């Protein structure tokens, strides 16, 4: 496991959140949910099929990105072989899309 410096972590986490935001924009347009990246935190806000919020935020002290979605917490670590923050080999954008589709009933 590679430990990132705090500066590397900040750069990579910012890039990861922006990449995840861009990857989800087409789905957000199609399924009509809000996606906002503000102050280093990515928020997905749903009104349908039920009101919900997914929150994705960097946790610098432990060098992870934490995702809170559907009453669960996911902790993603830097995976150098993927060049991405990932959980069990699933990069952040794919994990977010999968959870979003599950929430929307598309999975």
- Tens-place pLDDT, residues 58-102: 999 999 999 999 999 999 999 999 999 999 999 999 999 999 999
Q: What residue ranges define each of the domains in the chain, with the CATH number in brackets?
A: 6-104 (3.30.920.10)
- Tens-place pLDDT, residues 12-70: 999 999 999 999 999 999 999 999 999 999 999 999 999 999 999 999 999 999 999 99
Calpha distance 89→74 (Å, rounded):
13
The whole model's pTM is what?
0.93
Is residue 62 a contact partner of residue 78, using CB atoms and an 8 Å limit? Answer: no
The pLDDT assigned to 61 comes to 94
């Amino acid at each position: 496991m590679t430990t990132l410096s705090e500066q590397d972590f900040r750069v990579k986490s910012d890039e990861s959140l922006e990449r995840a935001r861009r990857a989800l924009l087409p789905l957000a347009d199609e399924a009509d949910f809000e996606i906002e990246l503000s102050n280093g935190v990515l928020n997905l806000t749903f009104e349908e099929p039920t009101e919900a919020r997914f929150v994705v935020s960097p946790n610098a002290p432990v060098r992870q990105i934490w995702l809170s979605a559907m009453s669960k917490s996911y902790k993603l670590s830097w995976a150098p072989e993927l060049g991405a923050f990932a959980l069990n080999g699933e990069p952040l954008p794919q994990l977010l899309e999968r959870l979003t589709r599950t929430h929307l009933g598309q999975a």
